Amino acid sequence: MVHIQAENRNWGKTNDGWICLDYTKRLDAAVISMPKENYTKGTYVVNCSKLNVRSGPGTQYKIKGYKTLTKSAQKQGGYVRGVRFTVKKVNKNWGQTPSGWVCLDYSKKL
């Protein structure tokens, strides 16, 4: 399941880029309502191919460049699958890391 942030003709924008909507099915909001995750501070591991780091807690904030990440994050290749990171502040499903804000829906707490 993916969340479409914007649409242009038969294309939908996701957190990971654009996908063709011809191969998807739109679900009613009632169908996809899932229990809300209660995220907390602590150590997490990235469970997607690449996790964007943003300047604030939401997709409306700019994605930070690789060179703006901490030295530790840069050594690990950025926030990629298997990388561990520390969340020091939580805002809904967003966590503040030393490098910036990440969506915790794409990670698992250790």
Is the Cβ–Cβ distance between 91 and 38 less than 8 Å?
Answer: no
Taking the C-alpha atoms of 89, 60, 3 and 11 in order, what is their torsion angle to the nearest 10 degrees? -160
- Stated pTM of the model: 0.67
| Per-residue pLDDT band at 28 (split at 50, 70, 90) | low
66: its two tokens:
């690789």
Rounded (to 5) percent helix, strand, coil in the chain: 15, 35, 50
Q: Where are the domains of the chain?
A: 1-34, 42-109
Q: Looking at the domain covering 42-109, what would its CATH class be? A: mainly beta
| Per-residue pLDDT band at 32 (split at 50, 70, 90) | low
Is the Cβ–Cβ distance between 71 and 63 less than 8 Å?
Answer: no
pLDDT in tens, 53-97: 999 999 999 999 989 999 988 988 889 999 999 999 999 999 999
